[in-house]
């Protein structure tokens, strides 16, 4: 009981703040307090937010394997927050693209979504993350039962589409998306192997 | 949010630039450049012995645009020069120790005059001109940059190409030691580019040796690079060590890496999208966080000087 309280009133706020640091750094860089944005600030903000979206997707996928490997069940208590941060960064990445990159030019946005396959992929990922985010409260989760688990398995799809989205937009140097792809492959493979065992509780 | 004031180069930016190029080195080269000036007026183009020194005797050109130039910071910290890494600030960070003196250029192929020339001798017969050009990257951003260089037509003429010389082929230095980007096979090194002989002799084409009146910083392709403003930026091969007059269309690094995405001509063309993104509009670097993109012009707005080169050529196929 004591640990639960500690997690709720100390560790969770702390982790929440840590997860916000990338956002704070973008703002303070834009204001030239901690550093500066590149000569192409819109691209810089968009790339940083997208990268953090992908990193949080990786992070949320490491939580249940970590729980199993360490045997520390409290780890799972952070999963929802990390997942919501994944949605938050991907959504901010999308907003930067729509507002700053496209200036809310509806025809340009629609044209890009239809004609640029990597943007289509990004939008599908964002939609799935949005569905998971709005169904994340415990009350909704209880009401939805088994269906909730099925819906939230789409995080695996999101992780694959997210890397694909990144891979398709790099000009030629795919080393970074490759690193993400390797990490996510390991995390998905781990689940696949665990899933075969009937006693597994990995989701 | 910060708005970049790219319209004018203010003194603080110049200070930071000097800071970057290392004050002592700067003062030394400024002195050298000063002493070189007297020679310059007699012998033609001179390049300071120390990199990044001030250039002298630069004439202006009718081909310059009167658009506002980007800041030195924009031009020297946001670069595609994969030899020093693939992030935009990698060339700025990783090129500091790159040595550009002594430097020589090998001229070969179908020409009367061929051989290996010192950089100084290579440019000496010519006069320096400032060319303020728009630069449109294939990644859909653009800048306005005050280059200092020599019309390529004059350099080509100097070597007296033969009738077999249909193309000019260029090559960047291959130097894994000092160019850390060349340790990864992102592209086939050394970087190679090419132009048709009529493109090379078009009055817009220059070989640049400087920006903003100073010798080129390493990240911008020191000491000698190609500028062809109606083409996408990747045609502007940097740190050139080889120039060759050839009969066959040369293969270029980007075309070899992704032939369906980057063609030999690479003319700026808003109507032919890159397979993965649109080329209809461009982001002008330095225009601020809330500026809209601007429409991209055919041949980057240089059509009156170059459109005739491509008469009868299907630009959708020969992109």
Give the residue-averaged pLDDT of B235-255.
97
Is A197 near chain B, with CB under 8 Å?
Answer: no
Find the helix packing angle between B23-43 and B11-20, rounded to 10°: 100
Closest approach of B187 to chain A, Cα-based (Å): 8
Q: Do A42 and B141 touch (CB under 8 A)?
A: no
Domains and CATH numbers, chain B: 16-308 (3.90.420.10)
Q: Does B5 touch chain A (CB under 8 A)?
A: no
Does A32 map to a domain? yes
- pLDDT value at position A199? 53
Nearest to A42 among B2, B281, B289 (CB): B289
Residues of chain B in contact with residue A105, where contact means CB-CB under 8 angstroms, are: 292
CA distance B220 to chain A (A): 15
Q: Helix, strand or coil for residue B171?
A: strand
Please give, rounded to a whole number of angstroms, the shortest distance from the CA of B276 to a CA of chain A. 6
Total Cβ atoms within 10 A of residue A127: 12
State whether residue A196 sits within 8 Å of chain B by CB. no
pLDDT at B19 over 60: no
Q: In this structure, is residue A35 part of a structural domain?
A: yes
Q: How confident is the model at residue A201 (pLDDT cuts 50, 70, 90)?
A: low
Q: Is residue A203 part of a domain?
A: no
Reply yes or no on whether the pLDDT at B102 is more than 90. Answer: yes
**What is the sign of the dihedral through the CA atoms of B273, B274, B278 and B279?**
negative
Q: Which of A39, A102, A103 to mutate to test the interface with B (most CBs of B within 10 A)?
A: A39
In a domain, A13, yes or no: yes
Q: Does B289 touch chain A (CB under 8 A)?
A: yes
Average pLDDT over residues A133-147: 94
Residues in chain B with CB shorter than 8 Å from the CB of A116 are 276-278
Nearest CA in chain A to B256: A172
Which residue of A40, A122, A177 is the best one to mutate when testing the B interface, meaning the one whose CB has the most B CBs within 10 A?
A40
Residue A201 lies in a domain: no
CB contacts under 8 A, B 46-85 vs A, are: 70, 73-74, 77-78, 82
- Tell me the CA distances in angstroms from B68 to A126, B72, B89, B295, one per residue in order: 39, 12, 23, 17
In a domain, A181, yes or no: yes
What's the CA gap between A97 and A53, in Å, rounded?
14
Determine if the pTM surpasses 0.90.
Answer: no
Q: How many domains does chain A have?
A: 1
Q: What is the pLDDT of residues B258-293, one digit of tens each?
A: 999 999 999 999 999 999 899 999 999 999 999 999
Q: What is residue A1's predicted lDDT score, i.e. its pLDDT?
A: 54
* Residue A200 in domain: no
How far apart CA B87 and CA A169 sit, in angstroms, is 14
Contacts of A108 in chain B (CB under 8 A): 281
Q: A146 vs chain B: nearest CA distance in angstroms? A: 39
Is the ipTM of this structure higher than 0.90? no
Nearest to B157 by CA among B109, B117, B197: B197
Residue A202 located in a structural domain? no
Q: What is the pLDDT of residues B154-188, one digit of tens each?
A: 999 999 999 999 999 999 999 999 999 999 999 99
A151 reaches B (C-beta below 8 A):
no
The boundaries of the domain holding residue A29 are 3-195
Identify which of A11, A13, A16, A14 has the alpha carbon closest to the alpha carbon of residue A72: A11
Task: Compute the distance between CA of residue B89 and CA of residue A40 in angstroms, rounded to an integer.
Answer: 11
């Amino acid at each position: 009981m004591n640990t639960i309280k500690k997690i709720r009133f100390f560790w969770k706020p702390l982790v929440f703040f840590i997860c916000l640091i990338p956002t704070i750094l973008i703002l303070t860089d834009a204001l030239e307090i901690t550093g500066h944005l590149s000569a192409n600030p819109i691209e810089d903000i968009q790339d940083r937010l997208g990268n953090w979206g992908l990193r949080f997707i990786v992070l949320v996928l490491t939580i249940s394997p970590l729980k199993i490997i360490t045997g520390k069940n409290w780890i799972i208590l952070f999963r929802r927050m990390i997942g919501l941060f994944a949605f938050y960064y991907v959504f901010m990445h999308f907003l930067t693209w729509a507002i700053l990159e496209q200036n809310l030019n509806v025809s340009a946005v629609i044209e890009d979504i239809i004609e640029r396959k990597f943007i289509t992929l990004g939008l599908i990922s964002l939609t799935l993350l949005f569905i998971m985010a709005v169904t994340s409260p415990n009350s909704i989760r209880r009401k939805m039962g088994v269906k909730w688990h099925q819906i939230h398995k789409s995080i695996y799809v999101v992780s694959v589409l997210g890397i694909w989205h990144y891979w398709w937009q790099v000009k030629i140097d795919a080393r970074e998306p490759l690193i993400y792809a390797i990490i996510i492959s390991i995390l998905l493979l781990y689940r696949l192997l665990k899933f075969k065992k009937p006693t597994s509780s990995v989701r | 949010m910060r708005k970049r004031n790219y319209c004018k180069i203010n003194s603080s930016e110049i200070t930071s630039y000097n800071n970057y190029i290392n004050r002592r080195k700067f003062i030394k080269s400024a002195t050298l450049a000063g002493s070189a000036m007297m020679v310059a007026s007699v012998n033609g183009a001179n390049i300071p012995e120390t990199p990044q020194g001030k250039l002298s005797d630069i004439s202006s050109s009718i081909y310059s645009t009167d658009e506002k130039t980007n800041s030195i910071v924009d031009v020297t910290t946001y670069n595609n020069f994969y030899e020093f890494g693939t992030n935009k600030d990698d060339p700025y960070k990783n090129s500091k120790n790159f040595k550009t003196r002594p430097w020589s250029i090998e001229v070969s192929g179908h020409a009367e005059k061929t051989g290996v020339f010192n950089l100084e001798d290579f440019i000496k017969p010519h006069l320096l001109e400032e060319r303020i050009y728009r630069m449109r990257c294939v990644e859909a951003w653009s800048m306005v940059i005050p280059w200092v260089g020599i019309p390529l037509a004059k350099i080509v003429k100097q070597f007296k190409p033969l009738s077999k010389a249909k193309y000019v082929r260029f090559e960047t230095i291959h130097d894994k030691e000092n160019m850390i980007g060349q340790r990864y096979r992102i592209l086939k090194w050394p970087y190679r580019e090419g132009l048709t002989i009529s493109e090379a002799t078009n009055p817009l084409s220059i070989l640049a040796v400087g920006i903003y009146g100073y010798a080129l910083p390493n990240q911008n392709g020191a000491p000698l690079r190609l500028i062809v403003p109606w083409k996408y930026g990747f045609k502007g091969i940097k740190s050139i060590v080889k120039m060759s007059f050839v009969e066959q269309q040369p293969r270029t690094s980007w075309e070899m890496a992704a032939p369906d995405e980057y063609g030999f001509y690479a003319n700026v063309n808003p109507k032919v999208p890159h397979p993965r993104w649109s080329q209809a509009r461009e982001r002008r670097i330095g225009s601020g966080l809330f500026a809209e993109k601007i429409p991209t012009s055919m041949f980057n707005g240089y059509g009156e000087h170059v459109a005739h080169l491509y008469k009868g050529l299907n630009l959708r196929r020969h992109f």
